[in-house]
Amino acid sequence: MNDETLCCCEYYDSLNERNHILACCCNCVDLDEAVDSLIRGKSVSEKNKTGFLNTMQERLRIPWIGGARQIAFDTILPVFILPIMLFLASISLWWTVFSFTTVAIFLLLIFNFFIRAIPNTKFFLTWTVTSILLLYFIFEFVVIPFLEILVEENIALSALIFFFIICFYTTKIKANELAQLGIEATESLVGKSINGFYSCQICNAKIPDKDHHCVWFDCCISKYNQFYFISALFFAVVALLYSSNLTLTSVCHPFRFYKAILLPDDCSDVYYQFELSLSFVSAIYSLILAAILLMLLLQQLMLISVGFSLKEWNKLTFLSKLCLGLNKKRPHNRGFIKNWSRILCLNKPQYHPLDREV
């Protein structure tokens, strides 16, 4: 191994040899042997099959500063699923219905599988990031060139997306800090039970005052980053609704609602042109996302008001959910105002490892 720094497309493979990602299709011994035996009419040996899969996994890399990084197959999956879904959906109305329902069913099926089989999968995070990038690029490079959206409308939307990204990033940073704190706490209090810390199997950390683990953000949400989480949800909902409104009024026939707001009323001929249908389909996807996120946002607001964590809420029976859980014991409830002030004002957990004796 030499000590030269790698360029962004290079990496050291399993034999510690320097390799380039552009050579990913060259020099695979197992593939050569497999093809060789196929041509000779022999069956492919098991060793060659696993060797080939390992080589493929090994060479599946993305360029990165300081050498190409290896990526897991499940991480890269949404990068293919989402564009294919939108592309197929733009063919016709029936394709839209078909591809959206297929993806929804696929997600429902794979959700529990991933949580159980690969708990720390980055699949959902990649899904979120790919959705944001895809929707933004479709808006900037397909919808804007229709020349129907004003500069200030574009800037307003970008500002909303910017605020969302800031909140999203802060949520993750804070979650990392909390996990770090959890490690410190366990180290300083070996063998003792720690009050207020909840272990998370997915991120393999102890989080103070944990609310739930959000797979789409790939981090834990606790009382200390819940404000940023809720802000992120809020900006995401507003940005998605605004962008879908701008897109739909551009590609469909709009009408004036109360003289000020433009709303779409006739989208019957969007499927005649690919750009129109792609924009339309991305707007529909945004609307679906906005509806789901809005429900999550309202649930979060309600749970904070009544003083439940999402984990406790999910354990409730249907009947007590109907009563908003008011008939059950709420160990973390401090009253409406205190619940909210805790969310809004708390930045760092009030925890000093040395002071506490349990």
Partner 1 sequence: MITKCVQCICALVIFIAVYFPSRHARHYDYIHLKDVISELVFNINNKFSQEKNCEYGALILNNTEIIIADVTQTKYFIPPLIGGEFIPQTFTVEQNNTLPFNRAEMMNYGAKIAIESNIYGCSHRPRHMSSSLDTFRYNLPYLTLFGGAISILTSHFKKVNGMSNLFFGWGGEDDNFYNRLESHQILPYRFDPELSRYTMLIHKKQLKNDKRFQILNKPLNIENDGLNRLNRRYLVIPENLFTRIVVN
User: How does 343-356 read in b/e, with b if 16+ C-beta sit within 10 Å?
Assistant: beebeebebeeeee
Alpha carbon distances (Å) from 247 to 91, 141, 240, 285, 289: 18, 12, 10, 12, 15
Residue 161: CB minimum distance to partner 1, A: 12
Verify binding: residue 260, partner 1, rule CB under 8 A.
Answer: no
Verify binding: residue 65, partner 1, rule CB under 8 A.
Answer: no
180 or 273: CB nearest partner 1? 273
Scan residues 267-286 and list those touching partner 1 (CB under 8 A).
Answer: 269, 272
Verify binding: residue 202, partner 1, rule CB under 8 A.
Answer: no
Verify binding: residue 261, partner 1, rule CB under 8 A.
Answer: no
Contact 284, 248 (CB under 8 A): no
Residue 254: CB minimum distance to partner 1, A: 6
Q: Which of 1, 151, 190, 319 binds partner 1 (CB under 8 A)?
A: 151
* CA distance linking residue 133 with residue 77, whole number of Å: 15
Contact 90, 100 (CB under 8 A): no
User: How does 290-299 read in b/e, with b if 16+ C-beta sit within 10 Å?
Assistant: beebbebbee
User: Can you read off the two tokens belonging to residue 168?
Assistant: 């999203």
Angle of CA points 327, 331, 335, to nearest 5°:
75
Verify binding: residue 247, partner 1, rule CB under 8 A.
Answer: no
Residue 34: CB minimum distance to partner 1, A: 45
262 or 316: CB nearest partner 1? 262
Contact 86, 281 (CB under 8 A): yes
Site string for partner 1, 130-149 (x = CB under 8 A): ----------x---xxxxxx
Verify binding: residue 250, partner 1, rule CB under 8 A.
Answer: yes
Residue 247: CB minimum distance to partner 1, A: 11
117 or 263: CB nearest partner 1? 263
118 or 149: CB nearest partner 1? 149
Q: Of 64-72, 96-104, 245-253, 304-312, which part binds partner 1 (CB under 8 A)? A: 245-253
272 or 318: CB nearest partner 1? 272
Q: Classify burial at 282, counting beta carbons within 10 Å of its beta carbon; exposed 0-12, middle 13-18, buried 19 or more.
A: buried
Count of residues near partner 1 by CB under 8 A:
23
What residues contact residue 339 under an 8 Å CB cut-off, 6+ apart? 304, 305, 306, 307, 333
Verify binding: residue 266, partner 1, rule CB under 8 A.
Answer: yes
Of the chain, the end-to-end C-alpha distance in Å amounts to 51
| Contact footprint for partner 1 (CB under 8 A) | 140, 144-151, 153-155, 158, 249-250, 253-256, 262, 266, 269, 272
